[in-house]
Structure 1
Amino acid sequence: MRKRERENPCLICGHYHKYEEGEVCGICGHRMADTSERSSIQVGAFPSEILPDFLYLGSYDNASRSELLKAQGISRILNTVPSCQNLYRNSFLYHSLQDDKSLSFDDAIQFLEQCEREKARVLVHCMSGKSRSPAVVMSYLMKCKGWRLAQSYQWVKERRASVELTQVVSQQLQEYEQKIFGSNETTFPAETFSFGFAKNDAVPVPAFNTSTGPSIFDRPLDVPPQQFAFGAGQTVNQPNSGVGDVSMGGA
């Protein structure tokens, strides 16, 4: 390895690899995000707080900043990407998901429940913090808070705007919702949610907490939100709604 390379480690993972040239790190698997990923990755060193003093969501960049995590009181890390190395085993308690294709929601939730019982703050992360890790957080909200998928998505999206579920991950969440509740509660309006499809300027951005319906923030966290507004007056969780597919495609 040339001296120049030794003096210039990757600013994200700290290892020596040609990050700017797109080389994958041989130690932790870190790589430069492609153009579409970089456009939606949340800017900022701190992870997003999903549930106060307990559950945080972020990227591998966030997980690599140990001092900032300690400053937030985070002591445990749930790594949802097998190829991402757990960098600070002496400083944090790690739990890693082992399947890089299918998310093990029950495994992840078991770890998160343990963290909650022991009043430990935990970071859930993937590479960019926009698909795998948000999906795990949504699965936790469904299983442990009793919220449906649409409600869980809204809660997480409002706290981390860069969330953009892939089609594969969306499908896994739909299946998990059906496993928990016995059905998919609703179909997301196609004109409201793009979930990673090619952006269309004519498609409105979801309008959260508008005056068209009660906000989920008016309820305690342990009370499942019953009704709220999506987009232009669209309402989810209609009474007597039938079983439907949650249409959440992704790139």
Structure 2
Amino acid sequence: MRKREREHPCGVCAHYHKKEETCGVCGHRMCDAAVQQSSLQLSAFPSEILPGFLYLGSYDNSSRLSLLKIQGIFHILNTVPACQNLYKNTFTYHCLQDEQSIPFDDAVNFLEQCEKDRARVLVHCMSGKNRSPAVVVAYLMKSKGWRLGQSYQWVKERRPSVEINQALYQQLQDFERKIFGNIENNGPTFPVFSSSSVAPAFNFGFEKPNDGAALPAFGNAGTPSIFTSPTSEIPQQFTFGAANIRNNGAFPPC
């Protein structure tokens, strides 16, 4: 297998095959643009919430050792006690033990330490739709100073499959009240998003547009609204590729 093929596994099934060929492992094939677009939410790669730092995904995403290494992710926040930590000798894990409510402060403290250490971190639950997105929303509120509605919208646009249930959303409202002293009264108590308002979250392998604007700096509680600039804008200093991989730039064996 050529080096280029080893560096770029399939974005849907995570196996190594050319786009126009059928995967010899699982039989997957990119038949046409419509099938490719519908497969994006089932991607083997986690969703990038904050460039070069915060990723959101499922238990399946957390089990793909080679892909996590390729993305430079070596810290994992496991939000489900029943999910096994598969690679304790490779990754730094932090597990939330409460199966009912989520200890947001505990989770946020771990993520803030990862940010301080400039370490990429994956937050996951079983499906990547409920508990782990709630943790990411709580982190955005606490560390970036964004309100609940803004934080939820930011995560939803980058991972359209997010479906936080009513009970967890109520916990997020309580957490917002704890941080800001009140909750926003100018919006619905539970977010409703039309399909037209959600942008695709997956763009691995393609250059991200950038017209010069940057994301708010990490750790800045006075960050202006995220809606003052297009959400597709990414900091120019962010790069993705072999330079971000540990082990002296070596790729994991096939």
Say yes or no: TM over 0.5: yes
8 Å CA contact retained: 1:73, 1:121: yes
The aligned residue for residue 42 of structure 1 is 41
Contact kept? 1:60, 1:127, Cα under 8 Å:
yes
Alpha-carbon distance in structure 2 between the residues aligned to 1:225 and 1:208: 21
Q: State the secondary structure of the residue aligned to 1:56.
A: strand
**Whole-angstrom CA distance in 1 between matches of 2:110 and 2:190:** 36
Q: Is the alpha carbon distance of 1:40 and 1:142 closer, same or farther for their aligned partners in structure 2, counting shifts above 3 Å?
A: farther
C-alpha separation in 2, matches of 1:90 and 1:219: 35
- Give the corresponding residue for 1:156: 155
**Code of the aligned partner of 1:220:** L
* Residues 171 and 68 of structure 1, relative CA distance in 2, 3 Å threshold: same
What is the aligned counterpart of 1:221 among 216, 219, 234?
216
On the 8 A contact 1:76/1:92 being kept in 2, the answer is: yes
What does 1:193-208 correspond to in 2, within 5 Å?
193=192, 204-205=194-195, 207=197
In the TM superposition, 1:72-221 aligns within 5 A as 72-189=71-188, 193=192, 204-205=194-195, 207=197, 220-221=215-216
Q: Letter of the aligned partner of 1:78 in structure 2?
A: L
Identity of aligned residues (%): 62
Measured at CA, do residues 142 and 192 of structure 1 come closer, stay the same or move farther in structure 2, by a change above 3 Å?
closer
Whole-Å Cα distance in 2 between the matches of residues 191 and 103 of structure 1?
Answer: 18
Deviation string 1:115-158 (CA, Å, 9 cap, x unpaired) is: 11111100000000011000100111000000000000111111
Q: TM-score by structure 2 length?
A: 0.63
Residue 79 of structure 1 contacts residue 124 of structure 1 at CA under 8 Å; is this kept in 2? yes
Q: Is contact 1:41-1:128 (8 Å) kept?
A: no
**Within 5 Å, which residues of 2 pair with 1:32-71?**
42-71=41-70
Aligned residues: 176
Q: Quick check: 2:156–2:198 contact (8 Å CA) kept in 1? A: no
Q: 2: distance between equivalents of 1:105 and 1:112?
A: 10
- Asked whether the 8 Å contact 1:193–1:206 carries over to 2, the reply is no
Please tell me whether the aligned partners of residues 123 and 132 of structure 2 are also in contact (alpha carbons under 8 angstroms): yes
Determine if contact 1:40/1:162 at 8 Å carries over to the other structure. no
Q: CA RMSD in A?
A: 2.8
Q: CA deviation at 1:42?
A: 2.9
C-alpha separation in 1, matches of 2:190 and 2:96:
34
1:46 alignment partner, SS class: coil
> Residue 177 of structure 1 aligns to which amino acid in structure 2?
E
Structure 1 stretches lacking a partner, 5+ long: 1-11, 13-38, 195-203, 210-216, 230-251
Q: Distance in 2 between matches of 1:104 and 1:68?
A: 29
For structure 2, which runs of at least 5 residues remain unmatched after alignment? 1-12, 14-37, 200-211, 229-254
Output the CA distance in 2 between the equivalents of 1:65 and 1:227.
Answer: 32
List structure 1 runs of 4+ shifted beyond 6 angstroms: none
Letter in 1 for 2:171: Q
CA distance in 2, matches of 1:82, 1:187: 36
CA distance in 2 between counterparts of 1:94 and 1:131 reads: 20
Cα distance, 1:180–1:70 mapped onto 2, change above 3 Å: same
Shift of the 92–227 alpha-carbon distance from structure 1 to 2, 3 Å rule, reads: closer
Structure 1 distance, partners of 2:185, 2:100, is 26
Change (3 A) 1:208 1:41: closer
TM-score, normalisation: structure 1? 0.64
| Contact kept in structure 1, 2:166 and 2:190, CA below 8 Å | no
Please tell me whether the aligned partners of residues 192 and 205 of structure 1 are also in contact (alpha carbons under 8 angstroms).
no
For the structure 1 residues 206 and 138, does the alpha-carbon distance in structure 2 shift closer, same or farther, using more than 3 Å as the test? farther
8 Å contact from structure 2 (residues 169, 190) kept in 1: no
Amino acid corresponding to residue 131 of structure 2 in structure 1: R
